[in-house]
Amino acid sequence: MAPPADKFKYALKSNDAWASYKGHQNESFFPTLAKGQAPEILWLGCSDSRCPETTLLGLQPGDVFTHRNIANILSPTDLNFLSVLEYAVVHIKVKHIVLCGHTSCGGCVGALSDSRIGGVLDAWLTPLKAVRAANQKELSAIQDDGERIKRLAELNVKQGVDVLMANYVVREAIEKRGLDVHGVLFNIGSGKIQDLGLGTDGELTQSKDGKISLTDGTEGQGKRESASAPVPEFEIVRGNHAMLVFNNDDTAVLTIAQRVALS
């Protein structure tokens, strides 16, 4: 069958058929959706067209609250991401935050390259290039290009989980109502999601004084002990949980706090 000449017109017709089918299958489906949403999952993913969260999770409209951007980069100074995070955690009260990277990520390809992409993309990929720089020895030792891209995608997810675990509203929700934070990788070649064992998928323990400690399940990271911490201040260069350092050689390094407070 030949592809449609106008993909947008085809998409509109496909939507009409889908809406009719869903309405016939369950007459209350759309009226119920119109009354409000109560998703249990906040999905933080990449804008890549091959990674549609509802489809690959086998879920329905209303099941997943979503934020996606190029290379699923989470920055503690990004108000777009932070507003979605706060709304989902504080107001919707999602039960799970899922940060998903993926194989064959174009953002990772760009970050691994020494060439400029041009436009705003070079600035956007600065945090991912910082992850590359911090793990250059490991990444350089990987001979296969696909595996190197995959490994950077995994390291990027870990960096993003660190940002999440350092966020005040996330820490508070973990302690007060058991919010779960997960880091996963979607394999485009197989369609399967791999749990990377990050975030609260590590071991959570509570001490006698009520403070929570976290072992995130990754080698060499040890235990993160709780301690008092102020509410994050969102500053362009330096914040309570991260510091973006611009060097004279036109490189930049994003440093995320490794010891975080959960109380």
Residue 250 known to be catalytic:
no
Calculate the alpha carbon distances from 77 to 81, 99, 236, 237 in Å: 9, 17, 6, 8
Q: How far apart are CA 57 and CA 65, in angstroms?
A: 13
Query: How many residues can be counted in the chain?
Result: 263
Closest to 146 in 3D by CA, of 87, 181, 176, 106: 106
Residue 100 falls in the annotated catalytic set: no
Beta-carbon count within 10 A of 53 CB: 19
Annotated catalytic residue 195: no
Q: Catalytic site residue 51? A: no
108 annotated as ligand-binding: no
Residue tagged active-site, from 51, 67, 78, 102:
102
Name the active-site residue from 100, 105, 108, 148.
Answer: 105
Q: Contact, 182 vs 195, CB < 8 A?
A: yes
Contacts of 13 (CB under 8 A, 6+ apart): none
d(CA 32, CA 63): 13
Distance CA 198, CA 181 (A): 8
Convert 146-179 to b/e letters by CB count within 10 Å (16 or more is b): eebbbbbbbbbbbbbbbbbbbbbbbbbbbbeeeb
* 244 Cα distance to chain centroid: 19
Tell me which of 50, 68, 96, 151 is the catalytic residue: 50
Q: Residue 240 phi/psi, 5° resolution?
A: -70, -25
48 assigned to a ligand binding site: yes
Active site residue 132: no
β-pair type (41-46, 96-102): parallel
* Residues belonging to the active site: 46, 48, 50, 102, 105
- Binding-site members for Zn(2+) are 46, 48, 102, 105
